[in-house]
Amino acid sequence: MSGFKVFAVAGATGKVGKAIVDELLRVQPELGLEVRIITRKEGGNAVKDTEELEKRGAKVYPVDYDQKPTVVQALKGVDCLISCFGATGFGLQPLLVKTAAIAKVKLYVSSHWGAPMDEYRYGLTHMKIKDEPMRLAQEVFHLPWALFRVGIFPEFAIKFPLTELNLHTRKAVIYGTGETPNSWTTIPDTARYAVYVLTHLPLSQLKNREFNIEGDRKTFTEVVKEYVGKYPGEFQVTYKPVEVLEEMVKKSEGKDFFHALMIEYATGRVAHDPAKLDNKEFPEWNPKKVVDTL
Ligand SMILES: NC(=O)c1ccc[n+]([C@@H]2O[C@H](COP(=O)([O-])OP(=O)(O)OC[C@H]3O[C@@H](n4cnc5c(N)ncnc54)[C@H](OP(=O)(O)O)[C@@H]3O)[C@@H](O)[C@H]2O)c1
């Protein structure tokens, strides 16, 4: 057991943050947890939801990220800080690391929750911003960190209009050949796994660790087949070759982040090495399959 009793979540109203808070509150009575929500004093979404969140058992801490002491104060006594910031908050993560170190937080969980990519190609070099908190935590502040690499969220990515899968219109565009597998994990399964290991593993097994998890492993062709199997009828598939995506990224001079990411999806670079999966750390984990979300 980590022995962690006091958790703080920053970015608690986003897709991942909400699921993490829901899971922490679900196990709160059994494990006797304190759940704090760190949110922007001005414009923070959780501020508006304070009454409802506090009724459910959380404590809301509005902070001003420009005023470091307000963040340190909110983190005093916290065992584990979980960052669920979305892209617009990534630049604030070094501040989270610094304030967590000052407040003597025992473990900082960085906002990754994404693809297991070890190198950044095309226009994705700015994703290095996701790595900076770990460097800072380890090299400068000696603050233990952890992160979770989960592959693609099916319930988000498949319905995201830009992805062009459009399954419900029965006319999907598949990027690349559709034959390379990717790792997929639903958002609630991600939250269940993360909260389980953060409360059940000792700090020595959490410290400076990337957790690689996968709820399902599927190609885009298999996803479409599963959809048609579930909802039979005519279905049209067209393909957008990787070269077309590369041309789009090239023309944008690296600014077309979305299609750069889609090249990685299309070429199977969002797939874990099956030999390096950490699913076993939560033996009872029974994640949903992509088909369950369709
Ligand atoms: N694997 C996948 O398929 C996938 C898909 C989407 C996202 N992700 C990853 O999941 C993680 C979380 O993303 P998300 O989409 O859940 O996040 P999100 O919904 O964009 O935002 C999460 C929270 O971050 C805080 N925030 C946003 N902008 C901020 C700013 N400028 N300053 C301070 N706080 C700010 C907000 O909290 P308050 O309002 O309470 O302050 C917000 O509720 C990211 O690392 C993202 O890359 C993965």
- The predicted-structure confidence for 206-245, as pLDDT tens digits, reads as follows 999 999 999 999 999 999 999 999 999 999 999 999 999 9
pLDDT range class, residue 69, cuts 50, 70, 90: very high
Predicted local distance difference test score (pLDDT) of residue 60: 96
Ligand 1 residue neighbourhood (C-beta within 6 Å): 11-17, 39-40, 44-46, 65, 84-86, 88-89, 92, 111-114, 150, 152-153, 156-157
40 DSSP β-pair partners: 63
DSSP 92: G
Residue in 50, 81, 113, 262 to alter for ligand 1 test, most ligand atoms within 8 A of Cβ:
113
Percent of the chain scoring above 70 in pLDDT? 99
Q: Which CATH architecture has domain 6-150+186-214+273-285?
A: 3-Layer(aba) Sandwich (3.40)
Predicted local distance difference test score (pLDDT) of residue 126: 66
Counting from 1 in the atom list of ligand 1, the atom nearest the Cα of 65 is 33
pLDDT range class, residue 39, cuts 50, 70, 90: very high
The token pair at 112 is 């990754």
Is the pLDDT assigned to residue 123 strictly greater than 90? Answer: no
Dist. CA 234–CA 191, nearest whole Å: 36
Residue-wise pLDDT tens digits, 187-211: 999 999 999 999 999 999 999 999 9
Provide the strand spans (E) within the chain: 6-10, 34-40, 58-63, 80-83, 107-109, 145-149, 171-175, 182-184, 209-212, 216-218, 236-240
Residue-wise pLDDT tens digits, 155-191: 999 988 888 988 999 999 999 999 999 999 999 999 9
Dist. CA 210–CA 221, nearest whole Å: 29
DSSP 286: -
User: Of the given ranges (73-87, 88-102, 114-128), which has the lowest mean pLDDT?
Assistant: 114-128
The residue nearest atom 32 of ligand 1, judged by CA position, is 89
The token pair at 168 is 């419900």
Q: Which residues are CB-contacts of 223 (< 8 A; sequence separation ≥ 6)?
A: 154, 158, 165, 290, 294
Counting from 1 in the atom list of ligand 1, the atom nearest the Cα of 45 is 39
Is the pLDDT assigned to residue 125 strictly greater than 70? Answer: no
Angle at 198 between CA 183 and CA 79, to 5 degrees: 140
What residue spans define the domains of the chain?
6-150+186-214+273-285, 154-180+217-266
What would the mean pLDDT of 57-79 be, rounded to a whole number? 97
